[in-house]
Amino acid sequence: MQDRRNAFTAVSLFSGAGGMDVGFSQAGFDIVFANDVDKDACATYRLNHTGEIHHGSLLDPGVGGMLTQKDVDLVFGGPPCQGFSVAGKMDPDDERSRLIHSFFDVVDRLQPKAFVCENVKALGFLNRWADVRAALMRRGRKNHRVALVILNATDFGVPQIRERMFLVGLHRDIFDGTDKDLQAYLETGLDAQRAAPTTVSDIVRSLGKAGSETNPRVCAAKITYARSPILRKSPYAGMMFNGAGRPLPAKKWATTLPASMGGNKTPIIDEAEIFDGEQSFVEEYHRHLMNGGEPRTGCAPDRLRRLTVDECLAIQTFPANYRLAGSRSAQYRQIGNAVPPMLAAAVANVVARGLDGGAALQVAAE
């Protein structure tokens, strides 16, 4: 499905730095309108995408009034999700609550053939968000068949454990089936695109050591030992060092990269383990503590350091030549807020095939 050539038109909302846009462009969508409230993200978008992005909130009539496209094939985007986290306490009157509904306001206005609304996993399954979820499903069902899938980015070639919800709609005029049929179509199409990710170690080695010409954008936040370590069974959980940026296993995948990166919330790696083949310092120190050893104090050894901007881009599967605007902290924030392009492309490919008629054909065959 990656080899499609015919382009569909798309409107991108809450575009950020353009992670979803990269994936949907790769699947054959021509993005005719993009929007975000973050100035740095808009500047990044302009550096990498040919289409124009409009800065401002969708709740601003000046921005919403620009959405006059006709015959749009797709509306996609990821409304702000902080309030829908596991610990979220979303106020129905909070602007973020209004913004997720503003996505469907645009769907109602443009009547696209399809829509894709991305958000955190918690919104897709927690009972506390059941009413919000049901309201969104009702809005989507006005003119579309709808289905909800929860995906882990690692299943689609992304070296990062990042679970996200995708609410997908295909217009009733082009999908001759039920919501249940659409659910089956999506799951089957996505299963066909599963791919094994590379490892954190592979990515870091491909870029070179931090501070080198090919990996220059380093994080300066120091790593010190936690005075009162919080231990878990895994060396890569708990808290053995300062800050919320935990160590990453070199031979596996990263945990979810947060938008708060850039300081001591930036994940940690072990250069000596990755480049020189030495035993993991993190695992060794974890064993020491688990066996009753005293916590160490002061700075951790220099072999431990935090992920660079370029490593974070690669872990998110942005193209190698992707450029970022803004300060170093703004760059980390944009990366952490993004949907991994490879994950977005997997969803986009299935939607594109549905627009091509593949979904209807599959339903008919069944």
Could you report the per-residue pLDDT of 216-258, keeping only the tens digit for each?
999 999 999 999 999 999 999 999 999 999 999 999 999 999 9
* Alpha-carbon distance values, 291 to 86, 226, 279, 284, 285 (Å): 33, 17, 18, 11, 10
DSSP-assigned letters across all residues of 285-345:
HHHHHHTTPPPP-SBPPTTEEEPPHHHHHHHTT--TT----S-HHHHHHHHHHSPPHHHHH
Q: Which residues pair with 77 in a beta bridge?
A: 13, 117
pLDDT of residue 60: 80
Q: How far apart are CA 299 and CA 264, in angstroms?
A: 13
Q: How far apart are CA 135 and CA 127, in angstroms?
A: 13
Tokens of residue 50, six digits? 């040919």
Residue whose C-alpha is closest to residue 106's, from 165, 53, 66? 66
pLDDT of residue 4: 45
Asked whether 41 and 15 are in contact (CB, 8 A), the reply is: yes
pLDDT of residue 181: 96
Q: How far apart are CA 355 and CA 349, in angstroms?
A: 10
H helices of 111-216, in order, are 121-125, 130-140, 179-191, 200-207
Tokens of residue 284, six digits? 């060794």
Phi-psi region of 107 (alpha: psi -120 to 50; beta: other; left: phi over 0): alpha
Sorted by where each starts, the structural domains of the chain and their CATH numbers stand as 8-196+340-365 (3.40.50.150), 200-334 (3.90.120)
* Alpha-carbon distance values, 28 to 209, 216, 296, 352 (Å): 36, 33, 54, 8
Q: Which residues pair with 161 in a beta bridge?
A: 255
**What's the whole-number average pLDDT of the chain?**
91
Check 42, 81, 219, 312 and give the catalytic one: 81
Q: Is 323 exposed, middle or buried (0-12, 13-18, 19+ CB in 10 A)?
A: middle
The reply to whether 117 belongs to the active site is no
DSSP-assigned letters across all residues of 240-296:
EESSS--B--TTS-EEPPPTTBTBTTS-EEEHHHHHH-PPPHHHHHHHHHHTTPPPP
Q: Which residues pair with 270 in a beta bridge?
A: 304
pLDDT tens for the chain, 366 residues: list them.
344 445 899 999 999 999 999 999 999 999 999 999 999 999 999 999 998 899 998 878 777 667 777 789 999 999 986 556 555 565 555 666 678 888 999 999 999 999 999 998 988 888 888 888 899 999 999 999 999 999 999 999 999 999 999 999 999 999 989 999 999 999 999 999 999 999 999 999 999 999 999 999 999 999 999 999 999 999 999 999 999 999 999 999 999 999 999 999 999 999 999 999 999 999 999 999 999 999 999 999 999 999 999 999 999 999 999 999 999 999 999 999 999 999 999 999 999 999 988 555 455 545
pLDDT of residue 6: 56
H or E, element range at 50: none
- Whether this prediction's pTM lies above 0.85 is answered by yes
The identity of residue 39, as a single letter, is K
Q: How far apart are CA 233 and CA 228, in angstroms?
A: 16
Asked whether 117 and 103 are in contact (CB, 8 A), the reply is: yes
